[in-house]
């Protein structure tokens, strides 16, 4: 399985679809609440995520996953962050913060 994942990511990067494009794809489902460029406060509750920086976004998403981060509506973000792998979180953060 691990070899398969590595092979797929090598093929993707050879096709020019690197991390940034994976992030673009993964971010699509976030845009409803956070805005196409991460420029909105989700439901009037979240920070403007594009201003959080790569490290800040990664910290928040990993924290939502393991329950160590968040405010009143963290349950909503836990559902968003739970299925993401560390590599996907890195790709998403790079996409949002750029
Ligand atoms: C259904 C609406 C919704 C969707 C979809 C959603 N979010 Fe959120 N997000 C929120 C809300 C509401 C908060 C504030 C939660 C809290 O109280 O901690 C938040 C918080 C965040 C934060 C931390 C901001 C802060 O205030 O500390 C980040 C980073 C974030 N979301 C990224 C994402 C990413 C990446 C995705 C897609 C995988 C996503 N969100 C999808 C509603 C959403």
Residue with tokens 């509506």: 73
Chain segment 47-86, per-residue pLDDT in tens: 999 999 999 999 999 999 999 999 999 999 999 999 999 9
Calculate the alpha carbon distances from 20 to 14, 51, 96 in Å. 14, 18, 10
The Cα–Cα gap between 61 and 21 comes to 19
Q: What is the pLDDT of residue 42?
A: 98
- 7 falls in which pLDDT band (50, 70, 90)? low
Q: How far apart are the first and last CA of the chain?
A: 31
- pLDDT at position 10: 52
Top mutation candidate among 27, 59, 67, 76 for ligand 1, by most atoms within 8 Å of CB: 76
Give me the residue label for tokens 């973000």: 77
What spacing in Å lies between the alpha carbon of 68 and ligand 1's midpoint? Answer: 14
Scan for tokens 């329950």, then name that residue: 67
Q: Quick check: CB of 46 below 6 Å from ligand 1?
A: yes
Ligand 1 pocket residue status of 32, Cβ below 6 Å = yes
At 15-52, the pLDDT tens digits run: 544 555 899 999 999 999 999 999 999 999 999 999 99
């Amino acid at each position: 399985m691990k070899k398969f994942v590595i092979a797929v990511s090598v093929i993707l990067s050879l096709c020019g679809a690197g991390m940034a494009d994976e992030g673009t794809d993964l971010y699509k489902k976030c845009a409803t609440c956070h805005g196409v460029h991460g420029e909105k406060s989700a439901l009037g509750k979240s920070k403007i995520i594009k201003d959080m920086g790569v490290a800040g976004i990664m910290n928040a998403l990993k924290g939502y996953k393991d329950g160590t981060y968040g405010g009143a509506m963290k349950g909503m973000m836990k559902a968003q962050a739970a299925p993401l792998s560390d590599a996907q979180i890195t790709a998403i953060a790079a996409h949002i913060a750029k």
